[in-house]
Chains A and B, each alone.
Chain A
Amino acid sequence: MSIFERFTEGWKKYRKPGYYREFDYHWAMTIDLDKCTGCEACVTACKAENNLPIVGEEEFAKGREVQWIRIERYWEGEYPNVKLGFIPMLCQHCDAAPCETVCPVSATYHNQDGLNTQIYNRCIGTRSCAVYCPFEVRYFNFNDHHWDSPLDQQLNPDVTVREKGVMEKCTFCIQRIRQAKDDAKDDGRRRVRDGEVQPACVQSCPSNALVFGDRKDPDSQVAKSMKDPRAYRVLEELNTDPSVVYLKKVDAKG
């Protein structure tokens, strides 16, 4: 390929909005609210997998907790006709993410797999991204965190421990994705098979409410699940184009 061709090719590929859609993967998740029981197994799995800090009672009271995935709960109606809806809320990996455009140092960017990614050592802690994020899923490290010994021994060696002044958030367990890609390469395959990589939350979900996969692969479970007539995205009107799709809770009558 001539330099000129490479140049035009590269230009086309990378200068187009949504360029990442041309790459091999476009990771996405569906969450079936009809299956979600609010048990928070996903929350604990995330804490374990991603070395989330234990902030302590005082910091928690100031709203400085870190939960890359959390369960939100919304009551509807009044007693006795009252309902409670759970919704797991995590970084939506928006394809038109407001957090990315606001970062003054490009610490958060869209990678070629469609992931919204945070570069910890570039982050200077302006917290603008957290302000811009409509889903409130970005968490700031107000302190250096400490694990009472020997709790530090449980830390996952594949994931860095973030320090004070750094923003962090869900990565779709990028370390697991990387591992799966490596394994596929070792296997002589170009692509990761569907179901080969699961973030910790998806892996742990006892009612199988969460589905993760490559939405570019039309045969993947997640791509099929996204076609469900119950599919919707939270705060769709903001047009951030999230990669997390929810399936509505079925309201059975009688």
Chain B
Amino acid sequence: MPKIERREFLKLVGAGSVGVGAGFMLRETIKHPPEYLIPHVVAPEDFSTGIATWYNTVCSMCSAGCGISVRTREGRAKKIEGNPNHPVSQGKLCGLGQSGLQVLYNPDRLTGPLQRMSARGGETFEQITWNEGLSRVADRLDLLRAAGRGNRICLLSQGVGGHLAQLFELFMAELGSERLLHYDYDHPHTLYAANRQFFGEEHLPYYDLKNTRYLLSFGADYLGNWISPVHHSLGFGHSRQGRPDIRGRFVQIEPRMSMSGAAADEWIAAKPGTEGVLALGLAHHLITQGYYQGADLDAWRQALRDYTTTQVAEQTGVATTTITRLANTFARSQSSLAIGGGIAANHSNGVDTLVAVNALNYLVGNLGKEGGLLFNPEPAGSVSHPRQASFRTMLKLAKDAREGNIEVLILNGTNPAFTMPAAAGFTEALSEIPLIVSLSSFMDETTALADIILPSHTYLESWGDDFPEPGVGFPTGAVSQPVVSPLYNTRATGDIILTLAQHSGLSDAIPWNSMEDCLKDGWREIYERADEETRTESFEVFWRSMLKAGVWGEKSQRDQTFTLAEGVIDNIGVAPPEFSGSPDDYPFVLHPYISNSFHDGRGANLPWMQELPDTMTSVVYGSWVELNPVTAEGLGLKEGDLVDIESPHGRVRAPVYVYPAIMPDVVAMPIGQGHSTYGRYAKDRGVNPIEILSAQMEPHTGSLASSATRVKIVATGKRVELIKTGGTSRDLGREIVQRFDPTAQSKTGGAHSTQLNSIPITTVTT
């Protein structure tokens, strides 16, 4: 080993150190700075994200029947999105639909069969086994059937479609009962009736928003909750900016601006219940200005003689110039479309109003035309509409119950104790029924009255199918399949019915062992109906491909010709609406509206929906009452002041929200809160305005005239802080939401200079 001097050694060490230092510094300089900043966020090279499994099924949060795709990982559902193949949702989905996950994973779900241990009104239940529960119910059904008293059994379900509805039909027929009812608070009875009267159609038509150029909506909140909001939104987007050089224009006529009113180009407030009169005023203008030249012109002229522009302006409170302008634009923009529903239909003259809206479409030739109203083919497998219970039918049921004519009530998913006005006395009538069985997944207000609870799977755990109503112009349907294995000791509704049928010895008529078999048999029929050429080689192949795609459809167009039903023109006319309560005692008309988050109250147990700011007011976690700013000032009320809203039938207490777009003599309240049970997120939160509604009906259909109650506002002197997002509701010159004037010449984008920025965001074209 060579001898190293001390001096040399130090030199080497020094040089080495300098070398290492310089090398280190060089390396540090070359190194990518992001590596410095982000060691933790860039995933390592071998990191790979998991692979999700998607199942296509059908949403059951409302009756629109959107196809959904559920993303699952390791057997857990993670996210719900729209099924891109499905013609209704086309890959899109509303907030409530996406919250279906919280139905599945709700901490307050019923986990197994229960039986009541206390008198009705208390909530003491004891766990039982499925066998105990099912045989108790089946024994009673058997007894009644054997005694020929099968008609004393009532099955009251939420609106269900497809083969589950058919199974219900079969089951009840075998038991010898006629009392099979589907009940939804917001079922559009008046719309069905008006269309039957006008065109003799049993099914809802397709409203072609996508291709329309001018839409008049009479009270229908088509973007919020009216029959098929997701599909309407798709059409709305396309109509607005999806076509080159054509921008659809939208006009909303309603006393309180809804979400659709905010999206519209023009919001017009007509006096509550006079929307139909306004429609006939427009029709009168169309006739007198010669826009209509049909053979029945004289009949129309005769029928509409009392709806001159001045008379209509006086009745509706809409200016004559507005009436003529709307009518002219409606006639000149082809295609135009008039729709009606929602608040306009919830009056004592609801059907007449919607007939008047149909008349508008008829007079300018929008029927059976692209961009107008298209008739739908018969759905491939739907439940007949008369099964839908109107308010009058529900009152009859209550009466039957009081008279002791109902011995067993089977409830499936519907919550009439919450969605029926207290004035109807429905809840009290229920207590007269000796045996109430609920198949609900949650302890809702009606289930809390049940004697036996046989909790069903949620829709994400069950088999089923759905044929969307309204349809999309061609026959279509979708199968819903379980996306996760059942969480709890629950069973699918169909399977519960099948087991009850087996217990009662009805297996000959109802031969299936499971809902899946029942469904497959039903779809085999649809498969066999298709012609030989287009059919897949076997049913199994068809079935599997359908489960994969999540949807089935047939290419066929319906003939769009139609004849006006007899006597329509002579009977046209809209009577003034009737209200309960005198205007002197009760100066305001109460407008309870379906909330986008909670629908008819079913969404109130979903924390996402509780925490989703209301679209129009941004309020969360509670109820409020909307007052016009002038009205509020007149009453000396400010936002957050607690008031009693008092009708002839009761009162509820809620804080004031000063709402800039509501008529001064109308007050509005959202439906959905005010549950007395229904889980930790819903219980004891807000109030339910349905409670104080009068039991007033639309006479043709017997549906509840929910906007026909007058109320008064009584200040309590107390205050609460409304929980909402954001501060001021005004722009204050910040130009956050900017508007574009299409008629202006200069087409530069941006209110501020684009020169400041490194990337110009607009191209200047003149």
Contacts and interface: CB of A to CB of B under 8 A. Distances in A.
Interface of A: 3, 6-7, 10-11, 14, 18, 32-41, 43-45, 47-49, 54-55, 57, 60-61, 65, 67, 70-80, 82-87, 95, 106, 109, 111-112, 117, 119, 121-122, 148-151, 153-158, 175, 178-179, 182, 200, 203-209, 226-237, 239, 241, 245-254
Contacts of A41: 92-95, 98
A46 B680 CA distance: 24
B607 interface: yes
Given A57-B723, A67-B725, A182-B48, A119 B41 contact: yes
Nearest to B257: A84
A60 B92 contact: no
A182 B193 CA distance: 55
A103 B611 CA distance: 30
Chain B interface mostly = loop
Contact of B30 (A7, A74, A205): A7
11 contacts: A45-B98, A54-B611, A55-B611, A60-B611, A82-B257, A86-B737, A95-B759, A157-B74, A235-B736, A249-B738, A252-B742
B4 interface: no
A159 to B, nearest CB: 10
Interface string B685-714: 000000000000000000000000000000
Contact of A82 (B612, B661, B736, B741): B661
A149 B111 CA distance: 13
B555 interface: no
B750 A182 contact: no
B621 A60 contact: yes
B61 to A, nearest CB: 12
A206 B660 contact: no
Interface stretch (B99-107, B447-455, B530-538): B99-107
Nearest to A203: B81
The 3 closest A-B pairs by CB, nearest first: A207-B237, A85-B737, A206-B233
Most A Cβ at <10 Å: residue of B48, B612, B721: B612
B93 A39 contact: no
Contact of B763 (A74, A227, A232): A227
A248 B95 contact: no
B37 interface: yes
Most A Cβ at <10 Å: residue of B41, B81, B107, B749: B749
A157 B78 contact: yes
A34 B240 contact: yes
Contacts of A151: 102, 105-107, 607
A36 to B, nearest CB: 8
Nearest to A6: B30
A65 B611 contact: yes
A10 to B, nearest CB: 6
B729 A38 contact: no
B755 to A, nearest CB: 11
Contact of B95 (A39, A72, A158, A179): A39
A38 B262 CA distance: 9
B229 interface: yes
B329 interface: yes
Most A Cβ at <10 Å: residue of B32, B94, B611: B611
Interface string B54-80: 000000000000000000011011111
B247 A232 contact: no
Contacts of B629: 78-79
Contact of B762 (A87, A209, A231, A235): A231
Contacts of B49: 158, 175, 178-179, 182
Given A43-B612, A79-B662, A37 B263 contact: yes
B596 to A, nearest CB: 7
B76 A153 contact: yes
A198 to B, nearest CB: 10
A74 B80 CA distance: 30
Nearest to B27: A3
B233 A154 contact: no
B545 to A, nearest CB: 24
Contacts of A228: 749, 762
Nearest to A109: B37
